[in-house]
Structure 1
Amino acid sequence: MLEKKRNIGPLNLRNGSMEKNITWHLSSTLNDVLDSRCQLKPQEAQVFRRQALWVSWASVVVTLTLAVAAFVVSALRYSASLFGFAIDALLDCVSSLIVVWRYYNIAAIYSSRREYLSCAVLGAMFLVSAICVEGKSIHNLSHKLIPEVDGFLLSVSLLSGVGCLLLAIAKFLLGQVLSSRVLITDAYNSLAGSMMGFSVLLSDEVFRYHPAVWYLDAVIGILIGLLVFCYGTRLLVDVIPKIRQTRNYERME
């Protein structure tokens, strides 16, 4: 009986220490989302939440319009970069809808689980987008398809680059204020779309003076696809463990 009592003590001590470690880890995970938002007054937090919703809805309308236009023009002009932008714009539209889901509820601004779930969905979409862009770029490169650049293509590219850049700035600023990783991720997505739009202008300018560099458009598409794939992978690796940690820690609204 004495030996059993000696064994129970350390076992309970280890279990208590393990529970404290789990509780501390979950608390630190939740604090990653709440730290700076807790510094905002409730009224200020709701104002920024509504602004995030307005920016997200504006992003849905703008990026969906640009995606349709870019798909049509990229098919007619064999532009891998513009096709990549069209895919990214479609992804941006869906990711903005995810941000709307993230913030549509008044109490959802403090939901760490919603934050991590939204980031996980965005990460998966980044991987799908990267695979599509890589496939189209490699296809154009292997078949030596030279982009047919004209005024309409350049106009769509310029509007796409400027529009997505403005959306990226607005999302990034709101993401910093709200400490929202999903908003900042959405901002990076818009920034990638802006880069793809401007890359068409760059490729056209280079091809005009150096026709031998016809492959620049496809190469830029491949590079941007790799960046998007790496960021999506990193995002999933980071947030999936946090989703598991918060599974029983927070109720979904």
Structure 2
Amino acid sequence: MFNFLFSLFLSGLLESSTRLKPHEAQNYRKKALWVSWFSIIVTLALAVAAFTVSVMRYSASAFGFAFDAILDVLSSAIVLWRYSNAAAVHSAHREYIACVILGVIFLLSSICIVVKAIHDLSTRLLPEVDDFLFSVSILSGILCSILAVLKFMLGKVLTSRALITDGFNSLVGGVMGFSILLSAEVFKHNSAVWYLDGSIGVLIGLTIFAYGVKLLIDMVPRVRQTRHYEMFE
């Protein structure tokens, strides 16, 4: 009976519960909250700028980045919910629920990005290049890459798939930011490669879709498994 209860207890906790002292876990939890709030503020501002670029300069990559930035805002908000309860810092059930929600958001976002990119490719929509587009691209690439590194580091320490997923989304945002610059500069020097912008949008959309599917396949069964632990609690 004792072995059964002990195994049930461990199944409801993340690996970090056996490696971190209580005060260390709470310290990293607070850092995760601060990074998530910072991410929400930064990516929301970048989303507004990217949507502006997309409308003014007809950029599929800018539209894709703006959608990914909105996704980053939502995923960071989910991480905020995940770590809002100090007592649930090691809760596997809460972790897996957050990951399932992230997976659904990834699928919806990827569909929107791919549909928009394919539409732009089919209508041969040509991007325009100016200093505003260049500035947004550089700023987005740098800030999102920094956020990705911070989230990956915290996710590794807390053994949090939700934080790592949020970091992956920020990394995609960084890649998309630099891709806006790349496709715009290539088009500026060679107008025959007009399709690069839309092609990058399709590729990134499919990448997000694949990650979302993988996340749901991995996490849905685990939510069911850890539900028994939550009921026992």
> TM (normalized to structure 1)?
0.86
Residue in 1 that maps onto 2:154 = 174
Residue in 2 that maps onto 1:43 = 23
Mapped to 2, the partners of 1:161 and 1:87 lie a distance apart of: 15
Runs of 4+ in 1 over 4 A off after TM superposition: 26-29
RMSD: 1.8
* 1:38 CA displacement: 1.9
Does the 8 Å CA contact 1:37/1:177 hold for their aligned counterparts? no
* 1:28 CA displacement: 6.8
* 1:34 CA displacement: 2.1
The partner residue of 1:63 within 16, 40, 43 is 43
Residue in 2 that maps onto 1:115 = 95
Does the 8 Å CA contact 1:113/1:246 hold for their aligned counterparts? yes
1:205-227 deviation line (CA, Å, top 9, x unaligned): 22122210011000000001010
Question: Percent identity between the aligned chains?
Answer: 59
Does the 8 Å CA contact 2:43/2:72 hold for their aligned counterparts? yes
Residue in 1 that maps onto 2:180 = 200
Does the 8 Å CA contact 2:133/2:181 hold for their aligned counterparts? no
Does the 8 Å CA contact 2:187/2:194 hold for their aligned counterparts? yes
2:16 is aligned with what amino acid?
A: S
1:77-124 deviation line (CA, Å, top 9, x unaligned): 110111000000001001101101100111110211110000000000
* 1:234 CA displacement: 0.4
1:46 is aligned with what amino acid?
A: Q
* 1:252 CA displacement: 10
Mapped to 2, the partners of 1:247 and 1:106 lie a distance apart of: 19
Question: In the alignment, does 2:47 pair up with 1:73?
Answer: no
Consecutive unaligned residues of structure 2, counting only runs of 5 or more, are none
The partner residue of 2:107 within 127, 132, 140 is 127
* 1:75 CA displacement: 1.0
Larger radius of gyration: 1
1:116 is aligned with what amino acid?
A: Y
Mapped to 2, the partners of 1:63 and 1:116 lie a distance apart of: 24
SS of the aligned residue for 1:243 comes to: helix
2:219 is aligned with what amino acid?
A: V
Question: In the alignment, does 2:101 pair up with 1:154?
Answer: no
